[in-house]
Amino acid sequence: MTENTERKSLLMYAMEGGVWLGLYLVARFVCGVAGLYSPVLNTVAMLLFVGTPVMLYWVMMRFHKQSGYMWGFAMLWMMGIMLFFFASLISCVPEYIFYQYIDPDYIATAASQSIKLIEEMGVMQDAASLEEIRKMLSTDAVPTPFQMVMSTMWANIFFGSLLSIVVAPFVLRKKNKNEIKS
């Protein structure tokens, strides 16, 4: 008697991989925020930021090997988009908690520090966007924690989509090399 095991769908693989990528994004956020007070954690945050393509490659490769499907470029790209979507759902929870409850003034402080840095550097003094940031701070029209979380989520998905376009061919290439050797 043969036993049929159902294969997981692309969505299931993306959800499982999204957990790993989400935890990675949480660690990156925590190190980034704590990096304001510690140079070591700032360096770790930068390394985690630069290591995001490696983490994406690892997650995509892991599930590409497990699936047994012959996935093409479009399927891997779609998986990458879904990975970043599910990872963003996980990583946005601690971000919201931080913005709302731990440091409610973080957003306004970051914007004022950005203006101060731009003024010290002497660049973009006449830029319209700099004037808009000044107006925003003077009228207390800073983004709410929910707006920040949603913009982070959409940015993660958009840049994750672009990153998936770059990483997917490397996953396919590695998989094809392994199949040729066997």
pLDDT of residue 33: 93
**Is the model's pTM score more than 0.95?**
no
CA distance 33 to 36: 6
Average pLDDT across each block of 10 residues of the chain; the chain has 182 residues. List them in order. Answer: 69 92 96 92 95 94 76 88 96 96 90 80 71 78 91 96 95 68 56
For the chain, give every domain's residue range.
10-172
141 burial via Cβ count (<10 Å: 0-12, 13-18, 19+):
exposed
pLDDT of residue 113: 83
CA distance 164 to 56: 8
pLDDT of residue 138: 79
* Helix 39-50 with 10-34: angle, nearest 10 deg: 150
Other Cβ atoms closer than 10 A to 77:
19
pLDDT of residue 181: 59
pLDDT of residue 90: 96
